Amino acid sequence: MHVLGIVFLFLAAVLPLSSWSVAAFGARTSAATIAVVPVLIYWFVLDAALGTAILGAAVLLLSAAAMIVNYTTFAGMWSITAVLIVIGVASQVVGHQVFERRQPALMDNPAHLLLGPMFVMAKLFIALGFRHDLAVVIQQVPQTAPPNSSLYAEKRRAEPRPHA
């Protein structure tokens, strides 16, 4: 659910920006490309291998967005964006509520929104057997959590409560 949701939400975010052509450094590009570059640099700085893989995925998604913009009307592009947002958010909600049984980490810290693609790529690398070092970090569940964290809230809900 993370993969589907994050891919759809990324595409939904860059799709409208792909319709806006901008001149940068003597070349024409889209506002989507300019908006994505700082985040790609951030991901690359966090982990070069994962950042490079995310760059490859971003190139594919930016290319898909450019094709959608070139072959649809303005209204069609916004309709596709709306559908992508609905499916992306729904998959995140279902994934967190049904499979993880906790609220998304970004509810505690909106900056985690930028870490979603890195998390999904890390999970893919682990599944392919490339990054055992990340498997230890990602699969490790902290024993204590701050009171406002998602883990704490879930633990509190799971505790039996005396009847009044």
What domain range is 87 assigned to?
A: 2-158
- Mind spelling out the 3-state secondary structure of 55-99? HHHHHHHHHHHHHHHHHCCHHHHHHHHHHHHHHHHHHHHHHHHHH
Structure tokens at 38: 């700082």
107-129 pLDDT per residue, tens:
677 777 778 888 889 888 988 88
- What single-letter amino acid sits at 150? S
Please tell me the total number of residues recorded for the chain in this structure: 164
Q: Is residue 164 part of a domain?
A: no
Q: Is residue 107 part of a domain?
A: yes
Q: Is residue 16 part of a domain?
A: yes
Mean predicted confidence (pLDDT) in 57-71: 95
Q: Which residues pair with 24 in a beta bridge?
A: 27
Alpha-carbon distance of 21 to 112, in angstroms, equals 29
Q: Which residues pair with 30 in a beta bridge?
A: 21
Q: Is residue 69 part of a domain?
A: yes
**Cβ neighbour number for residue 9 with a 10 Å cutoff:** 20
Q: Is residue 163 part of a domain?
A: no
128-150 pLDDT per residue, tens:
888 888 888 876 544 444 555 55
What is the value of pTM for the model shown? 0.74
Mean predicted confidence (pLDDT) in 28-41: 93
Q: Which of 12, 162, 1 is nearest to 86 (CA)?
A: 12
Gyration radius of the chain's alpha carbons: 19
**Domain count for the chain:** 1
